[in-house]
Amino acid sequence: MSSTPSSLYQKIQQKEADQTPFFSLEFFPPRTKPGAYNLFAKFDKIQQTGEPLFIDITWGAGGGDPSSDEYTSSLSVASIAVDYCGLPTMLHLTCIGSTKQQIREILDKARKEGIRNILALRGDAPPGTTYDPATLELPYATDLVKFIREEYGDYFGICVAGYPNQHPNSPSAQQDLFYLKQKVDAGADFIITQLFFESSTFIEYVNQCREIGITCPILAGILPIQSYASIRHLMKLSQLCPPDEIITELERMKDDDEMIRAYGVQLATKMCQEIIESKVCFGFHFYTLNREVAVREILQNLNMWNPNGTAAKGLPWQTSANERRAKEAIRPIFWSTRPKSYLMRTNHWDEFPNGRWGDSSSPAFGNLSELYLFRSAGFNKAQKRKIWGETLSSVDDVATVFCNYILGKISRLPWSEDSTVAAETKKIEFQLIDLNRNGIFTTNSQPAVNGLPSTDPVHGWGEAGGYVYQKAYLEFFISPTAFSQLVEVLAEFPFISYHALNRAGESRTNEKEKSVNAVTWGVYPGKEIIQPTVVDPESFPIWKDEAFELWRTEWRDLYEAESMSYNIIENIYQNYYLVNMVDNDYVRGNIFAPFDKLGITNPTQGLVPNN
Amino acid sequence: MSSTPSSLYQKIQQKEADQTPFFSLEFFPPRTKPGAYNLFAKFDKIQQTGEPLFIDITWGAGGGDPSSDEYTSSLSVASIAVDYCGLPTMLHLTCIGSTKQQIREILDKARKEGIRNILALRGDAPPGTTYDPATLELPYATDLVKFIREEYGDYFGICVAGYPNQHPNSPSAQQDLFYLKQKVDAGADFIITQLFFESSTFIEYVNQCREIGITCPILAGILPIQSYASIRHLMKLSQLCPPDEIITELERMKDDDEMIRAYGVQLATKMCQEIIESKVCFGFHFYTLNREVAVREILQNLNMWNPNGTAAKGLPWQTSANERRAKEAIRPIFWSTRPKSYLMRTNHWDEFPNGRWGDSSSPAFGNLSELYLFRSAGFNKAQKRKIWGETLSSVDDVATVFCNYILGKISRLPWSEDSTVAAETKKIEFQLIDLNRNGIFTTNSQPAVNGLPSTDPVHGWGEAGGYVYQKAYLEFFISPTAFSQLVEVLAEFPFISYHALNRAGESRTNEKEKSVNAVTWGVYPGKEIIQPTVVDPESFPIWKDEAFELWRTEWRDLYEAESMSYNIIENIYQNYYLVNMVDNDYVRGNIFAPFDKLGITNPTQGLVPNN
């Protein structure tokens, strides 16, 4: 486990020093599993478009134990955001009513999950109960901050809450500031404020903080008013009241939620602009209430929403925010449509020597488990049958499903976690349709790329000024008969290497030795060559097991046992080969040429844009 | 130290199984240091053209202790052949008169030097002396073989000698074969025979060996008759007599050595052809007597001389045959014209994790020592003054020397071990001449290459079917004034990165972070990307010390202290910068553009062939 200090604080300091506005997004844990899927899908979207400095998960609002292993717990949501959605994440933690040992157990677990940032809060006693501070091990947030620093040193970044309108329990604004100073002195790195309704409230508050010697960054907590009902609820909860003119406006529009939302966006935008102009702070923490549309509008108004998200990243696949994986630089191509499954199955790897699995001759993957299968689609059986067929009358119906996925008519296949087909797949769409129509079911592919600029909108990745390359790749299921024909033709294409395995593990390949084949690489100024995606013969059998299992658990089991639909899928599962195929000549090759020869693809439309 | 068995035996077995003729070359250690240089130069040439399966060094013929650290000792010659010339090497070892402890010390040393193959011989008692076998610890070759196997297991490949005409001391041919069987049973891997004059002698001998159960490979020892005197000497030494018709022929030509040499070549060619046809053996061991011209002719006659040598190798630089360096895959570009110096300065590295130095942040290089400087040119002072100037009257005279080297008019610079300018340098010859004529003294360079076939005769390396790439590289000494002008212009070329150091270590660079820059890489079917040459900021200061030291020790010290010639070089040594420069845009860039801008190079002739 790394013991370098959490880097979030440094990033915030840098942004403040550069006077570059930045933002973070707060979410609460969902109440249900489907709610959890939706939230994770939101995280994915935020990772792809947005670019928050971090996200923040509240403690236990969804009900249930916030530190449990359920997907709906605060800790799980934060951990999944870090591990699988690639988002730097802060986790709230309240101490009131908890023993040191209980808090220690939660923090140990958070550390184990790669969470590096904690928002330390006192929390409230459950409604109808009170605590006597004298009887508590950790009665105040200050005590929690101290405890974290004592027990975990610099491992966690610590944030504390500031109250521009004074905490409802504080005897005075002065006393409230004093408590805040205490929390900072105890070891907090930065402050996020409670919501407020006028920028002047916040600006004044920051000035007061500076006056009493609080020097750390202070992020403005922004709540966009989203509906009349929600603002009434919040006023009650926070015991805060907007100024009269806002109340008047809201009352005027109270029957028009859309108008209120627009007003809320306008109000928040104005506050943020005024704060940026004041230069007291450049960080904005948005209370999203799990609805990020209004927040996105505000950020777009402020020119702070990056449509490329953190996707303007160093590698072509989505990196994890877990620091344990910081050195990860190479992945097998097989899981490229199932990155979360890959992350899950390699979650126990503590080190990534050479940027990859430790011993490539025996990469240890986690077992196929309900866990990853369960997460693979996020659709229930009825939804799956709707898109993959209520009944199947022949293997042609299966072909239609694959074609529909490539054409964007359906949003999911068992082998894809993402609901969108990769942009580069569009470039070889016709050929893929031809293959699938002919019973060659493609699960993964990439066209050849011969030195496009690293800023290319479709194929580019990594920093500007570089050149990116790809070897054409195809992965598909194919019947034994069709495969035999293909193998015969492939003898004429020495630059195309292939490896096929059926469910039982029978292997056919034209590769003379087992070696790792780089299929995506990039050349950058002043850098070593980066080769983030490889075809790795040692992990192919592991992917093969997963890929076949998905036929069975995701598709076959939608139908009654021994029904025709069931048997069609079962037959594929039992008999087909899974083939990976690389055209090693990324300059002059054409991976579809063998299929042209077989009359499956059409050479006149099949010119691959090799650039 | 590796404990895998020596691979030579497997290679021989494979060749025999494939019925592919192969050869090895035997040399004796030189008597003098200049003789040693000549021999090492021969080894280099053999490595570049030829492709022997191995070379073989006799034990102590040059006089002196064959296991000493002198360049002229058998052990040193074998070790240098392995380490610096990249040739798999076998070392003779005789046991007569030596104690087990003495032999153990020699074998320990050989193992430490990376020698993996021993030709185990009894040897002869010094002239005029006799040994009583009963008093000796290792009286016979069999005892030596046994001893090596007992003490070193499989570490050494062991060869023994066979006598097709029976050993002069053996009582009978039958007894002689019995002794050979004993040696093989004691653990020898293969046999090399004494010379013979008719193929039938050898073929019959092999058949006899097979009859008594000797199954290991038997290589035919071939001595091409090179002169009348030498054959007379050899007949005396080996107590062998050629058949009458050969004697008659030789007597007839005895005053025409050239005719005898041609006759010898013809005779040996015929013997080899007959043996290959007989299929009893496919390996030929040539007694070169350190003159390999006749042997080359024989091998050319047999179509066994590979003009590309082992140079058809996996990496663009000459690899070492020392198994300790088997995993070495990356070197700094700085030493590319001084590969032996690099090998020497990294000779103590036992491991090459990631294919390179262990910890790139502190690569430990051997000290600058007399050793490498001494070996740097192999020329004496008079020879050096002849090519680098008897006197220098201005820095222009230095420029002329550099230009003459590029034009091939002189064969050596202090910074080049090889006497030939690399073929690819020819492609940028005009620009390099312009630079040097203007006092920018280039020591190393490569043009950009954007995806040429790996079989390209100039730039290609590695197996067929791949594509090779290079970033343009320039390394030069430049005066502080000229460097300041250059730096100003370079601001307009963001894709050109540079790093300059003067003797005192003052550093100027436009690189924001210290990172390793790959400047030569290749993409091959079914392989990871190979990047064998890099510009490494950590080893540049180490190279800088060596590069500056060569001005002083190789060039300045040719002249009387404080003479004008001396002071001209001293001034360069004291004040100039050594600059490395990479054009990161290998697709569209032109590393000479900044010099065009300064009016130094001529843009109309300066179009770099980027392919």
Determine the residue of chain B that is closest to A464 in CA distance.
B495
Nearest CA to CA, how far is B537 from chain A (Å)?
10
Confidence of residue B345 (pLDDT cuts 50, 70, 90): confident
Average pLDDT over residues A473-487: 97
For residue A189, tell me if it sits in a domain.
yes
pLDDT tens-digit map of A100-133:
999 999 999 999 888 999 999 998 887 788 888 8
Residue A221: C-alpha distances to residues A195, A287, B264 (Å): 5, 7, 96
Determine the residue of chain B that is closest to A583 in CA distance.
B525
For residue B262, tell me if it sits in a domain.
no
Q: Does A451 touch chain B (CB under 8 A)?
A: yes
For residue A341, tell me if it sits in a domain.
yes
pLDDT tens-digit map of B393-448:
999 999 999 999 999 899 889 998 776 777 888 889 999 999 999 999 999 999 99
For residue A250, tell me if it sits in a domain.
no
Nearest CA to CA, how far is A20 from chain B (Å)?
21
Nearest beta carbon to residue A517 from set B511, B517, B526:
B526
Over 80: is that where the pLDDT of B355 sits? no
A260 backbone dihedrals φ, ψ, rounded to 5°: -60, -45
Confidence of residue A610 (pLDDT cuts 50, 70, 90): very low
Do A399 and A301 sit in the same domain of this protein? Answer: no
Q: Is B170 exposed, middle or buried (0-12, 13-18, 19+ CB in 10 A)?
A: middle
Q: Is A125 exposed, middle or buried (0-12, 13-18, 19+ CB in 10 A)?
A: exposed
pLDDT tens-digit map of A153-175:
999 999 999 999 887 777 888 99
Give me the helices (H) in B139-252, please.
141-152, 173-185, 199-211, 228-238, 244-252
> What is the per-residue pLDDT for B610?
43
Instruction: Name the pairing type of β-strands B22-27 and B54-57.
Output: parallel
pLDDT tens-digit map of B486-531:
999 999 999 999 999 999 999 999 998 889 999 999 999 999 999 9
> What is the per-residue pLDDT for B563?
97
Question: Which of A194, A139, A160 has the alpha carbon at shortest distance from A90?
Answer: A160
Set of chain B residues whose Cβ sits within 8 Å of the Cβ of A495: 465, 525
Catalytic residues of A: 26
Give chain B's count of helices (H) and strands (E): 20, 18
> What is the per-residue pLDDT for B61?
60
Do A417 and A303 sit in the same domain of this protein? Answer: no
> What is the per-residue pLDDT for B149?
96
Q: Does B534 touch chain A (CB under 8 A)?
A: yes
> What is the per-residue pLDDT for B365?
74
Q: Which of B450, B527, B536, B538 is the mutation pick for testing A, counting most A CBs within 10 A? A: B527
Q: Does B581 touch chain A (CB under 8 A)?
A: no
What is the span of the domain harbouring residue B421? 389-542+554-597
> What is the per-residue pLDDT for A473?
97
pLDDT tens-digit map of A356-379:
765 555 567 776 664 554 454 467
Distance (Å, rounded) from C-alpha B544 to C-alpha B328?
Answer: 23
A285 backbone dihedrals φ, ψ, rounded to 5°: -105, 115
Between A485-489, B205-209, B309-313, the lowest mean confidence (pLDDT) is in B309-313
A508 backbone dihedrals φ, ψ, rounded to 5°: -135, 130
Determine, for residues B465 and A524 on separate chains, whether the beta-carbon distance falls below 8 Å. Answer: no
> Who wins on pLDDT, B324 or A330?
A330
Do A153 and A25 sit in the same domain of this protein? Answer: yes
> What is the per-residue pLDDT for B313?
59
Distance (Å, rounded) from C-alpha A238 to C-alpha A229?
Answer: 14
Nearest beta carbon to residue A527 from set B515, B524, B587:
B515
Do B287 and B436 sit in the same domain of this protein? Answer: no
Determine, for residues A450 and B451 on separate chains, whether the beta-carbon distance falls below 8 Å. Answer: yes
For residue A590, tell me if it sits in a domain.
yes
Predicted model pTM? 0.81
Do A373 and A306 sit in the same domain of this protein? Answer: no
Q: Which of A469, A493, A529 is the mutation pick for testing B, counting most B CBs within 10 A? A: A529
Percent of the residues in chain B that have a pLDDT greater than 90, as a whole number: 60
Average pLDDT over residues A594-605: 84
Do A306 and A395 sit in the same domain of this protein? Answer: no
> Who wins on pLDDT, B377 or B496?
B496
Residues ≥6 apart with Cβ < 8 Å to A305: A49, A50, A51, A296, A299
Average pLDDT over residues B110-115: 91
Beginning with the edge strand found earlier in the chain, give each strand of the sheet holding A472-478 in spatial order.
Answer: A441-446, A472-478, A577-583, A496-502, A507-509
Determine, for residues A528 and B534 on separate chains, whether the beta-carbon distance falls below 8 Å. Answer: yes
Q: Does B329 touch chain A (CB under 8 A)?
A: no
> What is the per-residue pLDDT for A378?
64
Average pLDDT over residues B122-148: 89
Do A292 and A434 sit in the same domain of this protein? Answer: no
Determine, for residues A526 and B511 on separate chains, whether the beta-carbon distance falls below 8 Å. Answer: yes
Set of chain A residues whose Cβ sits within 8 Å of the Cβ of B450: 451
Q: Which residue's structure tokens are 């002739």?
A: B605
Q: Which of A523, A533, A610, A611 is the mutation pick for testing B, counting most B CBs within 10 A? A: A523
Nearest beta carbon to residue B525 from set A467, A524, A584:
A584
Nearest beta carbon to residue B531 from set A465, A513, A529:
A529
- Exposure string for B56-89, b = 16+ CB within 10 A, e = fewer: bbbbbebeeebbeebbbbbbbbbbbbbbbbbbbb
Q: What is the CA radius of gyration of chain B?
A: 27
Question: Which of B324, B325, B323, B306 has the alpha carbon at shortest distance from B532?
Answer: B325
Determine, for residues B521 and A526 on separate chains, whether the beta-carbon distance falls below 8 Å. Answer: no
For residue B178, tell me if it sits in a domain.
yes
Nearest beta carbon to residue A526 from set B354, B450, B515:
B515
Average pLDDT over residues A12-37: 90
Set of chain B residues whose Cβ sits within 8 Å of the Cβ of A611: none
Give the A window 346-365 contacts with B, CB below 8 Å.
354
pLDDT tens-digit map of A287-342:
998 888 899 999 999 999 877 654 445 778 877 778 778 788 888 999 888 888 88
Confidence of residue A426 (pLDDT cuts 50, 70, 90): confident
Between A307-311, A463-467, A512-516, A558-562, the lowest mean confidence (pLDDT) is in A307-311
Confidence of residue A604 (pLDDT cuts 50, 70, 90): low
Please identify, among A278, A311, A344, the residue that sits at the C-terminal boundary of a domain.
A311
Set of chain A residues whose Cβ sits within 8 Å of the Cβ of B531: 528-529
Please identify, among B291, B310, B329, the residue that sits at the C-terminal boundary of a domain.
B291
Do A468 and A578 sit in the same domain of this protein? Answer: yes
Give me the helices (H) in B302-448, please.
339-345, 370-377, 381-388, 395-406, 429-437
Over 80: is that where the pLDDT of B34 sits? no
Q: Is B169 exposed, middle or buried (0-12, 13-18, 19+ CB in 10 A)?
A: exposed
Q: Does A179 touch chain B (CB under 8 A)?
A: no
> Who wins on pLDDT, B374 or A186?
A186
Residue A534: C-alpha distances to residues A148, A380, A531, A539, B232 (Å): 42, 33, 7, 10, 64
Do A152 and A32 sit in the same domain of this protein? Answer: yes
Q: Which residue's structure tokens are 């999911």?
A: A412
Q: Which of B333, B523, B524 is the mutation pick for testing A, counting most A CBs within 10 A? A: B523
CB neighbourhood size of A560 (10 A): 10
Do A155 and A71 sit in the same domain of this protein? Answer: yes
| Cα A468 from chain centroid (whole Å) | 24
DSSP state at residue A579: E
Domain count, chain B: 2
Average pLDDT over residues B286-300: 91
pLDDT tens-digit map of B64-107:
788 888 878 999 899 888 888 888 999 999 998 899 999 999 99
Q: What is the mean pLDDT of chain B?
A: 88
Nearest beta carbon to residue B465 from set A469, A531, A584:
A584
Confidence of residue B369 (pLDDT cuts 50, 70, 90): low
Instruction: Give just the sign of the alpha carbon dihedral B117, B120, B124, B125.
Output: positive
Give the A window 465-504 contacts with B, CB below 8 Å.
465, 467, 469, 494-495, 497
SS (H, E, C) A44-71: HHHHHCECCCEEEECCCCCCCCCCCCCC
Give me the helices (H) in B279-304, please.
293-301
The two tokens of residue A261 are 């939302």
Helix (H, G, I), strand (E, B) or coil at B1: coil
> What is the per-residue pLDDT for B235?
81
Catalytic residues of B: 26
Beginning with the edge strand found earlier in the chain, give each strand of the sheet holding B441-446 in spatial order.
Answer: B441-446, B472-478, B577-583, B496-502, B507-509
Do A338 and A287 sit in the same domain of this protein? Answer: no
> What is the per-residue pLDDT for A404?
94
Q: What is the mean pLDDT of chain A?
A: 88
pLDDT tens-digit map of A64-97:
789 888 878 999 899 888 888 888 999 999 998 8
Confidence of residue A556 (pLDDT cuts 50, 70, 90): very high
For residue A302, tell me if it sits in a domain.
yes
Nearest CA to CA, how far is A525 from chain B (Å)?
5
Distance (Å, rounded) from C-alpha B432 to C-alpha A600?
Answer: 55
Instruction: Name the pairing type of β-strands B467-470 and B517-523.
Output: antiparallel
Please identify, among B271, B291, B311, the residue that sits at the C-terminal boundary of a domain.
B291
Nearest beta carbon to residue A495 from set B465, B527, B587:
B465
Q: Do A113 and A79 contact (CB within 8 A), yes or no? A: yes
At A12, which CATH number? 3.20.20.220
Do A283 and A398 sit in the same domain of this protein? Answer: no
For residue B532, tell me if it sits in a domain.
yes
Between A21-25, A479-483, B175-179, B351-355, the lowest mean confidence (pLDDT) is in B351-355
Report ipTM for this prediction. 0.78
Distance (Å, rounded) from C-alpha A213 to C-alpha A367?
Answer: 54
